[in-house]
Amino acid sequence: MADGPRLDRALTYINKSSQLGGFGESFVSGAGGLVLAFFTIVIGIGEAFANLVTSPVDTFAAVTSDLIDATFGAPARFMQDVWNTAAVALGMDPWMSLGPFITVVAAATVVATIAVFAWYVDSIDADTLTGLNFPFIERDTGGDLDDED
């Protein structure tokens, strides 16, 4: 009968643990939470490193698009406005006396504006306004030799 009280205590512990819930369920839930936290951290770090590459590339693309629009789009819109104004004013007195001279002046203005951008790109020895050098353009290797590296 020496095993009786010991068995009773063990059964009491087993019954109490059954009421509280199993260790296995708690362990699996805790381990699952730790695994989820670990992979969330790994994914977060991966996204941060990916963002180090994609953010500058996206920003560079946006700035390049804005530069192209400012360099070529604004003069084109200016010419469009000049032609539209000339078409509206065709029957008015200043247009009848000046003729197509107004559009010639506007075209010269556009060419002069683009020439300023071209001079600037040549002065910084680059192929684009953003400072990039492309091997198929080679704007930085032609022309005068004074400003070449």
How far is 61 from 148, CA to CA, in rounded Å?
27
Measured distance CA(56)–CA(25) in Å, rounded:
46
* Percentage of the chain lying above the pLDDT 90 cut: 10
Distances from the Cα of 72 to the Cαs of 13, 86, 131, in angstroms?
84, 21, 17
Q: Name every residue whose Cβ is closer than 8 Å to that of residue 63 and which is 6 or more positions away in sequence.
A: 130
Stronger pLDDT, 95 or 68, i.e. the higher one: 68
Tens digit of pLDDT for each residue in 72-118? 888 888 878 877 777 676 666 665 666 667 777 778 888 888 888 88
Model confidence at 1, in pLDDT bands (50, 70, 90)? very low
Q: What DSSP line would sit under 78-118, residue for residue?
A: HHHHHHHHHHHGGGSHHHHHHTTHHHHHHHHHHHHHHHHHH
Q: Residues 24-45: what's their mean pLDDT?
A: 86
pLDDT (0 to 100) of residue 120:
82
Per mean pLDDT, which range of 23-32, 42-51, 63-72 is the poorest? 23-32
What are the sequence ranges of the domains in the chain?
A: 3-123
Model pTM score = 0.43
Average pLDDT, the chain: 76
**Rounded distance, CA 125 to CA 132, Å?**
9
